Amino acid sequence: MTMGTFPGYANVLGGVVSFLSDLGSFVLSFGRGGAIDLRGKVSLLDNDELLLVWEPELRTIRIKKEEEAWYSFEAQYGRGSPMVTDAFVAWQEKLYAYIEQEKDRFLQRRRGSIEGLEKLLRAGARTVVVTKGAKPYTQKCFDLTGLSPFVSEIYSPPPGKRRKRFGDAVLAHGVRNPVQCARDVVIVGHDIEKDMAWDIVPARDNPAGDPAPVFVLFDTFKYNKPVKAPLDALPEIIELLARKGKNDFLRGFRVLALRGGGKTRNYVFSTTYFEDPKRRDKVRIPIIYDIRGRE
């Protein structure tokens, strides 16, 4: 099922239920001394170059070897066959065994990632990683870097495929239509073209005029180099969106966009709407970018 086929969001009864749900969430979010309650909210996160980063030479070799292995298994078992994924996962086990021995040389996590993800989880949000890699391998990399307890779920491609499953991820968390998605979901990555959840971005000509969810754009995480924004900026940004929008992320973004950006306790950022020239069939994307520490 895709966002374009989500059922019944114009239904009157559904609208009443949605209103009551929003009202209840709003009361909860401000009923405990101003603490934000993020239950029902979902952060869809990129993996490489956002949470994890590889030593550059190893990363180049790894990606080349992975592509070669995948194509060889497709040639052997047939494109789209679940056996391709099974063989690929078994092949990755050998690569993982080597990385496990040399993890301090090859693999790092973004500064502030544990603190940021833990704070989101404590507030009730779901931290969902959507990757085109195989789940067992991604899980083991998170195990190595200590991130596993702070990631709610990992969504990898269906058997035989290498595409990200953003639509499946939001459906599994109760998101049933584009309006709800823009209210309750943020996409987090370092590359707007590659990391945006295009399968849940409405078409430009959709009759309802449905919007896209907010994309939070961090700088690319490079090996052994500092970043402008550690990942502990993420919960501060998400909480600000929820406050400004009265539990609605997109509404909060629109409030901040009137001023061209926002300011949290420790960070400042800019806002804009982005139209990808390669995706002119899609609506504009609300983006938070240029995230940096306050002076």
Q: Which two tokens stand for residue 251?
A: 């509404």
Compute the radius of gyration of the chain from its Cα atoms: 20
> pLDDT digit of tens for each residue in the chain (295 aa)?
445 544 333 333 333 333 334 444 334 333 334 568 999 999 999 998 999 998 888 778 888 888 899 999 999 999 889 899 889 888 888 777 877 877 777 889 999 999 999 999 999 999 999 998 888 889 988 999 999 999 999 999 888 887 888 999 999 999 989 999 999 999 999 999 889 999 999 999 998 899 999 999 999 998 888 899 999 999 999 999 999 999 999 999 999 999 999 999 999 999 999 998 888 899 999 999 999 998 7
pLDDT of res. 157: 85
Please indicate, yes or no, if residue 16 is contained in any of the structural domains: no
Q: What angle do CA 56, 57, 58 make, to 5 degrees?
A: 95
pLDDT of res. 183: 97
Please indicate, yes or no, if residue 264 is contained in any of the structural domains: yes
Please indicate, yes or no, if residue 20 is contained in any of the structural domains: no
Please indicate, yes or no, if residue 24 is contained in any of the structural domains: no
Please indicate, yes or no, if residue 134 is contained in any of the structural domains: yes
C-alpha distances (whole Å) from 8 to each of 5, 91, 182, 287 are 9, 44, 16, 28
| Whether residues 37 and 100 fall in one domain | no
**How many domains are there within the chain?**
2
Closest CA to 222 of 108, 100, 101, 98: 108
| Whether residues 39 and 79 fall in one domain | no
pTM of the model: 0.82
| Whether residues 180 and 120 fall in one domain | yes
pLDDT of res. 264: 96
Please indicate, yes or no, if residue 126 is contained in any of the structural domains: yes
Question: Which residues, in sequence order, are bridge partners of residue 189?
Answer: 217
| Whether residues 239 and 174 fall in one domain | yes
* Beta pairing, strands 214-217 & 285-293: parallel
pLDDT of res. 148: 96
| Whether residues 114 and 257 fall in one domain | yes
pLDDT of res. 106: 83
- 236 φ/ψ angles, rounded to the nearest 5 degrees: -65, -40
| Whether residues 63 and 181 fall in one domain | no
Domain that holds residue 279: 33-51+108-293
Please indicate, yes or no, if residue 187 is contained in any of the structural domains: yes
| Whether residues 81 and 127 fall in one domain | no
| Whether residues 172 and 64 fall in one domain | no
| Whether residues 74 and 189 fall in one domain | no
| Whether residues 264 and 134 fall in one domain | yes
Largest CA distance in the chain: 60
pLDDT of res. 35: 63
**CATH code, 230:** 3.40.50.1000
- 261 φ/ψ angles, rounded to the nearest 5 degrees: 165, -170
The answer to whether 37 touches 29, Cβ cutoff 8 Å, is: yes
| Whether residues 98 and 146 fall in one domain | no
| Whether residues 148 and 89 fall in one domain | no
Please indicate, yes or no, if residue 21 is contained in any of the structural domains: no
